[in-house]
Structure 1
């Protein structure tokens, strides 16, 4: 009986050691980077998943057929690609412009002739005699404004009268 008990203890110890070794191997076998790789945050529509290794963001939701995650478009990558495209186009246009022949020949730094139409016109009055003229509204415009103000005033008085009746309880 002693052998059965000692062999049973031995068997239990072997099983225990094997389980512990297996658990340790399983933990050691999984890369440490996998532990805690994703960060999850709940949203109204489901879950927002952040891959801490790559920085990719996905939205996950439970549809009728099960959970599914879809990558959120990376605006930064889209902007970077657009900037790269525009820089390449800018360089191409600069090269095309540089390859063209100059359209203007001769010296361009020459002074304009005195009879040039681009010359600034002289003021009609001297600096001391400047006058500002403001056009006044016509009689029709004044009548329209007065009629508008009269209507607004009447409405304001009617509104004040209604409020006063409401306050006094004479509805």
Structure 2
């Protein structure tokens, strides 16, 4: 029995020390998040990059005179996943629209019934058939008297202007302007 009494005497002070140590830790309050390793900080530019080791979120933190401010860095993976989701929704919508248009087209009456028996003409067959030289006659209509008078009037005016221009040039050369 003696051993039981000596061990119980020893167990009391050990339990008391353990309780005091635990209560001291509890009274001290929770440790700040940076002390338990939740955030990892790395210098970057005029601030720091903060990595949340629990969630994987990355933030940029800068000191703007009024204090430190942290802003989340856009996650490329999240942006890519949302873009993939949007594209998949678009593909589904387009496939449904394609099926709808196919069924509409199938329900319409055909515009041509049956197969066309004769093939389409070749480009050479659309040319007019060759005619013998003796059969070809080209008729050019002659101008009327009125058309001839208009042409003569135009030529006379052009000739007068040309003569006037030559006379002016001759006068400028003789007077020394040119």
**What is the TM-score with the length of structure 2 in the denominator?**
0.43
Greater gyration radius: 2
